[in-house]
Amino acid sequence: MKRFITNTLLFCLIVLLFSCKNSENQSEKKGTSYAETKESLVVANRYLTRTEEEEIEHYIKRHHLEVTETGSGLRYSVVKQGDGSFPQKGDVVTLEYKVRLITGDRIYSSDESGPLVFQVGKGGVPSGLEEAILHLKVGDQANIILPSHLAYGLLGDNNKVPKRATIIYEIEFKKLSKKQ
C-alpha cells in the first residue's frame, strides 16, 4: 500500500513538473513573456481602478454629497449627527442598514435580514465598513461608499454583489457595546 501511495505521489509530481514546463514553453512560443503578461495585467487593473473612481465621483456629484475621503479610498457622509461615543476595536456595534450597488439597485437591508451586529476589528463584514464605523458615533446616520477593494473585491459575495462592485451603505448606528 505504501508503495502504491509513493508511486502515485511521484507520478503526480512528474505530471505537475512537466505541465509547468509545458506552460512556460507555450508562453515562449506565443511570444509572451511573464513580464509582458504582468505588465498587461497592471495596465488593465489601472484602467479598471480609474473607471471605478470615475463612477464614484459621478455618483457623488449626482447625489450632491459632501463626503470625507480616507487614504484607503473609503468615502462617507454623515447625514445626521448622533450624540453617542465612537467605537474602538473590540467593541460590538449594531447597525440598521440598506446596501445598494452604485447603480442604485438595493441588494440587502436590515428590514429583511435584521440589524447588522459585529465586533469591530474581527472581520466578517467588508473591510471598508469596519473602517467607516470607526469614524462614526452612536446615533449617526451616514452614507458610506465602498470601492470594490474595500467591499467584496474581485469576486463579489457569490450572492447579490457582483464582481468588482462598488457598494453604498446607508446606515444608522443604533448601539454600541464596549469591550470588557
Interval 113-132 mean pLDDT? 95
Interval 41-57 mean pLDDT? 86
Cell, residue 70: 480616507
Higher pLDDT, 145 or 12: 145
Assess whether pLDDT exceeds 50 at residue 9: no
Percent of the chain with pLDDT over 70: 82
Distance separating alpha carbons of residues 166 and 60, to the nearest angstrom: 13
> 26-30, 85-89, 138-142: which range is least confident on average?
26-30
Interval 149-160 mean pLDDT? 92
Assess whether pLDDT exceeds 90 at residue 83: yes
pLDDT-based confidence at residue 30 (cuts at 50, 70, 90): low
pLDDT tens digits, residue range 69-81?
Answer: 999 999 999 999 9
pLDDT of residue 154: 87
Q: Tell whether 26 is covered by a domain.
A: no
Q: Identify the residue whose cell numbers are 513573456.
A: 33
Q: Tell whether 53 is covered by a domain.
A: no
Interval 76-90 mean pLDDT? 95
Q: Tell whether 137 is covered by a domain.
A: yes
Q: What is the pTM for the complete model shown?
A: 0.77
Assess whether pLDDT exceeds 80 at residue 88: yes
pLDDT of residue 104: 93
Mapping DSSP onto H, E and C, the string for 8-46 reads HHHHHHHHHHHHHHHHHHHHHHHCCCHHHHHHHHHHHHH
Give the CATH number, domain containing residue 134.
Answer: 3.10.50.40
Q: Tell whether 25 is covered by a domain.
A: no
pLDDT of residue 61: 96
Number of structural domains the chain divides into: 1
The Cα angle at residue 135 between residues 174 and 149, in degrees rounded to 5 = 105
Q: Tell whether 130 is covered by a domain.
A: yes
Domain that holds residue 101: 66-177
